[in-house]
A and B are shown apart, each in its own frame.
Chain A
Amino acid sequence: MTVLLLLLILAAIAAAGFVLGRRRALARAGGNPKLLHSLPAYYGWHAALMSLLPAVLLMILWVIAQPIIVQRAVTDTLPAAMTADPTALELTMADVRRLAAGLDAAVAGGQMTENEASMLRTEFTDVRDKLARVGVALGSAVTHDVLSAAQEYREITAQFALWRMIVVIAVAVLGLIYALAVTKPDLWARNRVERVMLGLLMLASTIAILTTVGIIWSLFSESVNFFRQYPFTEFFFGLTWSPNFRGGSQLGFLPLLWGTLYITLISMVVAVPLGLFAAIYLAEYASKRVRAWVKPLIEVIAGIPTVVFGLFALITVGPFLRDYFAQPLGLGNSGSSVMTAGIVIGILNIPFISSLSDDIINSVPQSLRDGSFGIGATKSETVKQVILPAALPGIMGAVLMAASRAIGETMIVTMGAGAAAKLSLNPFEAMTTMTVKIVGQLTGDTDFAAPETLVAFALGITLFVITLGLNVFALWIVRTYREQYE
């Protein structure tokens, strides 16, 4: 709350900085903007940024550092026995924080005055009972030490919050004063502002990259934990998947890999021809009016949530395939099957392939079409022998990206193909994929130290490597075989 208030104050200072900076620049130039190095607004932005940036940076650092410092200070007040080993300390501090939050809630709710909260004594009051009435549940009875630590905690936090506000606002004002002091007609305000903008842009891309790195790191470290407990070879070469939380699990990943690849294969068999033919029709044959209608209609598919596709697989496609194909052919009587999930994922991927391929085909230069028509080729000959070969690298890229989507699809598989890990060639049998098992192993009450749970991370990183490999391969194909049109 106070952080939010502080941010509002900073915004107000920055806004004032903008107005003052702009006005001061104009005043220094005698009201003639032509004498200024930059446009007047840049001086405004300069002042606003100079007051805002250092203050915000300081505030962020403070918000990060404060809990650490407060914790250290509070730890010192606790008896040494409670802080001896790190686990006990962590538990105690959790109690302290929860109690402090409880007191905060009680004060905010009006059940206690600030004074009462800080004078509370376990000797005279049943704190647990009192807080329970305010809606704050505490795990165990509150000891004297914890209560006083919590009170200490609240006090220090309050002090820090006050200081934070004073220091941050002071920095903002100092920044503003500095900016106004240096505002002169020959100050290169535009260059300074643009440098800050550049920094923002770089920050944005850095955050995206760092997130990826963080994801890989968390997957990797948990996978390492898993492989400490479960043999590497049995995971990668095991033919049985039967996790059992009571121990003795067999966590062979091959059945899951097979299910993943089988479903992906079927989905690509559905999506590639349909998507590609749709793209060729739209790009080469359809009139403008047809195109204006058909293209958005196809793209509607892309907007349908996958869970809705899952419903479609579960109640329409699955039973249909079972009743009209699987049972008559004697291939089983399962409503969920690889075929169901594959077909539905394939349909999901049609707009993806058709839309990308359509763009790629459209980017083949008209001159190639003219050249082909000019020596008497028909439209279909032109498409087959000139347009498609020219567009092929791009289309391959689209297909491989669609394949990574199919590999990563979870919802449709759960609802369409079931959750039984199996190694089978029969497309009408229920099978499952890596993504489904990742979800399966992590939902419910789980023990994050057991290999049955940690296997999800090993599956995750394997999946990541597979899709990353596919994407790199797609990019490589696109780069290598791309035709440079002039």
Chain B
Amino acid sequence: MNDMRITERTVQTNQAKITARDVQVYYGDTHAIKDVSVDILDKAVTAFIGPSGCGKSTFLRCLNRMNDTIPICRVEGKILLDGEDIRDVRVDPVQLRAKVGMVFQKPNPFPKSIYDNVAYGPRIHGLVRNKAELDEVVESSLKKAALWNEVKDRLAAPGTGLSGGQQQRLCIARAVATSPEVLLMDEPCSALDPIATAQVEELIDELRANFSVVIVTHSMQQAARVSQKTAFFHLGNLVEYGDTTTIFTNPVDPRTESYISGRIG
């Protein structure tokens, strides 16, 4: 398992960026997330793994209140970002999402030019004062997303014309451009081929320098390759949470062990 890692897996900080305590999520009458408590570290990649329908995506969407957009969804419990409750009435979900960006399973570039896709966030949040600054943000975001070299000559081309892998990196650039503190990624590679997946994984590892990254994945190899911390979800429960190495080599819970060895899920 160790030889699959991209870089040496050292957790550089122990400071918790997001603290969740006793989080419950209900979809109508269905109890989708039960008593989840977890500390997500700053400047580290945390992977959520687990079989389909175990609630990992649902929990991820709680972290930037994307579940607010689903009318029947109800969230209880405490979720703190830098010690502040994100579910407090005084917190504007819109501002929260500027701090906690999200990348989705399917690449979803806007039907705009590549430039406008990346410039979207900085523009709506007023992060730049003039065109030159915006150009700079767009360039640096595309560079961070490892897309700059491929698109620098055709920034005016529509973002929807890129290949699937490029589109996903464009979406990452778009999320990065608002300079979030946390980046949530919901199975960002599930629609990509192995080469594009490798590129995105490398990117995730680089993003760790600046952000706290949370990634939901179905691929245990991917979790092992890119993450420092891993959380295993099963049937709405957080079964086990710890260093990725520990989870994959020496899991405590028998369910984790069965899952990673391929007996369930």
Contacts of A381 in B (CB 8 A): 124
Contacts of B32 in A (CB 8 A): none
CB distance from A448 to the nearest CB of B (A): 54
The residue on A at minimum CB distance from B160 is: A483
Given A370-B66, A385-B124, A483-B160, A375 and B108 touching (CB < 8 A)? no
Q: Is the CB of A375 within 8 A of B98?
A: yes
Given A373-B66, A375-B175, A386 and B110 touching (CB < 8 A)? yes
Q: Is the CB of A375 within 8 A of B120?
A: yes
Q: Is the CB of A483 within 8 A of B111?
A: yes
- Please measure, in the bound complex, the distance between the C-alpha atom of A267 and the C-alpha atom of B57, giving whole angstroms: 48
Given A376-B178, A381-B124, A371 and B110 touching (CB < 8 A)? yes
- Please measure, in the bound complex, the distance between the C-alpha atom of A372 and the C-alpha atom of B94, giving whole angstroms: 10
Q: Is the CB of A368 within 8 A of B108?
A: yes
Q: Is the CB of B108 within 8 A of A484?
A: no
Task: Decide if A365 is an interface residue (CB 8 Å cutoff).
Answer: yes
Task: Tally A residues with Cβ within 8 Å of B.
Answer: 23
Q: Is the CB of B104 within 8 A of A367?
A: yes
Residues in B51-74 with C-beta less than 8 Å from chain A: 64, 66, 69, 71
Given A367-B106, A486-B106, A376 and B98 touching (CB < 8 A)? yes
Contacts of A385 in B (CB 8 A): 110, 120, 124
- Please measure, in the bound complex, the distance between the C-alpha atom of A254 and the C-alpha atom of B88, giving whole angstroms: 66
Most B C-beta atoms less than 10 A away, residue of A389, A484, A486: A486
Contacts of B98 in A (CB 8 A): 375-376
Contacts of B160 in A (CB 8 A): 483-484
Contacts of B96 in A (CB 8 A): 376
- Please measure, in the bound complex, the distance between the C-alpha atom of A389 and the C-alpha atom of B117, giving whole angstroms: 13
The residue on B at minimum CB distance from A486 is: B106
Contacts of B108 in A (CB 8 A): 365, 367-368, 370-371
Category for how many chain B residues contact A: 20 to 34
Contacts of A367 in B (CB 8 A): 104, 106, 108
Task: Decide if B31 is an interface residue (CB 8 Å cutoff).
Answer: no
Given A376-B95, A385-B124, A371 and B112 touching (CB < 8 A)? no
Which of these, A287, A370, A374, A390, contacts B111 with CB under 8 Å? Answer: A390
Chain B 94-132 per-residue mask, 1 if CB under 8 angstroms from chain A, else 0: 111111011110101111100000001100110000000
- Please measure, in the bound complex, the distance between the C-alpha atom of A484 and the C-alpha atom of B159, giving whole angstroms: 12
Q: Is the CB of A371 within 8 A of B125?
A: no
Task: Decide if A377 is an interface residue (CB 8 Å cutoff).
Answer: yes
- Please measure, in the bound complex, the distance between the C-alpha atom of A469 and the C-alpha atom of B120, giving whole angstroms: 37
Q: Is the CB of A375 within 8 A of B121?
A: yes
Q: Is the CB of A389 within 8 A of B66?
A: no
CB distance from A289 to the nearest CB of B (A): 11
- Please measure, in the bound complex, the distance between the C-alpha atom of A339 and the C-alpha atom of B14, giving whole angstroms: 71
Given A367-B104, A483-B160, A374 and B66 touching (CB < 8 A)? yes
Q: Is the CB of A373 within 8 A of B69?
A: yes
Contacts of B189 in A (CB 8 A): none
- Please measure, in the bound complex, the distance between the C-alpha atom of A373 and the C-alpha atom of B67, giving whole angstroms: 11
Given A386-B110, A483-B111, A374 and B175 touching (CB < 8 A)? yes
Q: Is the CB of B104 within 8 A of A370?
A: yes
- Please measure, in the bound complex, the distance between the C-alpha atom of A378 and the C-alpha atom of B125, giving whole angstroms: 10
The residue on A at minimum CB distance from B117 is: A371
- Please measure, in the bound complex, the distance between the C-alpha atom of A378 and the C-alpha atom of B108, giving whole angstroms: 17
Contacts of A378 in B (CB 8 A): 94, 124
Q: Is the CB of A374 within 8 A of B102?
A: yes
Task: Decide if B20 is an interface residue (CB 8 Å cutoff).
Answer: no
The residue on A at minimum CB distance from B171 is: A371
Q: Is the CB of A375 within 8 A of B106?
A: no
CB distance from A67 to the nearest CB of B (A): 61
Task: Decide if B225 is an interface residue (CB 8 Å cutoff).
Answer: no
Contacts of B69 in A (CB 8 A): 369-370, 373
Most B C-beta atoms less than 10 A away, residue of A288, A377, A381: A377
Contacts of A365 in B (CB 8 A): 108
Chain B 177-202 per-residue mask, 1 if CB under 8 angstroms from chain A, else 0: 11010001000000000000000000
Chain A 342-377 per-residue mask, 1 if CB under 8 angstroms from chain B, else 0: 000000000000000000000001011111111111
Given A373-B97, A377-B124, A368 and B102 touching (CB < 8 A)? no
CB distance from B111 to the nearest CB of A (A): 4
The residue on A at minimum CB distance from B164 is: A486
- Please measure, in the bound complex, the distance between the C-alpha atom of A386 and the C-alpha atom of B175, giving whole angstroms: 15
- Please measure, in the bound complex, the distance between the C-alpha atom of A73 and the C-alpha atom of B96, giving whole angstroms: 93
- Please measure, in the bound complex, the distance between the C-alpha atom of A374 and the C-alpha atom of B108, giving whole angstroms: 11
Which of these, B71, B102, B110, B184, contacts A390 with CB under 8 Å? Answer: B110
Contacts of B97 in A (CB 8 A): 373-377
CB distance from A312 to the nearest CB of B (A): 38
- Please measure, in the bound complex, the distance between the C-alpha atom of A373 and the C-alpha atom of B99, giving whole angstroms: 12
The residue on B at minimum CB distance from A375 is: B121
Residues in A372-424 with C-beta less than 8 Å from chain B: 372-378, 381, 385-386, 389-390
CB distance from B102 to the nearest CB of A (A): 3
Contacts of A287 in B (CB 8 A): 71
The residue on A at minimum CB distance from B174 is: A375
The residue on B at minimum CB distance from A483 is: B111
- Please measure, in the bound complex, the distance between the C-alpha atom of A374 and the C-alpha atom of B182, giving whole angstroms: 12
Chain A 248-288 per-residue mask, 1 if CB under 8 angstroms from chain B, else 0: 00000000000000000000000000000000000000011
CB distance from B108 to the nearest CB of A (A): 4
- Please measure, in the bound complex, the distance between the C-alpha atom of A335 and the C-alpha atom of B1, giving whole angstroms: 86
Q: Is the CB of B124 within 8 A of A371?
A: no
Q: Is the CB of A389 within 8 A of B112?
A: yes
CB distance from A171 to the nearest CB of B (A): 60
Most A C-beta atoms less than 10 A away, residue of B103, B108, B174, B175: B108
The residue on B at minimum CB distance from A374 is: B102
Contacts of B112 in A (CB 8 A): 389
- Please measure, in the bound complex, the distance between the C-alpha atom of A381 and the C-alpha atom of B171, giving whole angstroms: 18
Contacts of A288 in B (CB 8 A): 71
Most A C-beta atoms less than 10 A away, residue of B103, B120, B180: B120
Give 13 pairs: A residue, B residue, CB < 8 Å, sorted on A.
Answer: A288-B71, A370-B66, A371-B110, A373-B97, A374-B184, A375-B120, A375-B121, A376-B94, A378-B124, A385-B120, A386-B110, A389-B111, A486-B106
Q: Measuring CB to CB, which residues of chain B are less than 8 angstroms from any residue of chain A?
A: 64, 66, 69, 71, 94-99, 101-104, 106, 108-112, 120-121, 124-125, 160, 171, 174-175, 177-178, 180, 184
Given contacts A376-B124, A486-B106, 12 further A-B contacts (CB under 8 A): A370-B102, A371-B109, A373-B69, A374-B104, A375-B180, A376-B178, A377-B94, A378-B94, A381-B124, A386-B110, A483-B111, A483-B160
Question: Which 10 residue pairs spanning A and B have beta carbons closest together?
Answer: A376-B98, A374-B102, A376-B97, A367-B108, A371-B108, A483-B111, A375-B121, A390-B111, A381-B124, A378-B94
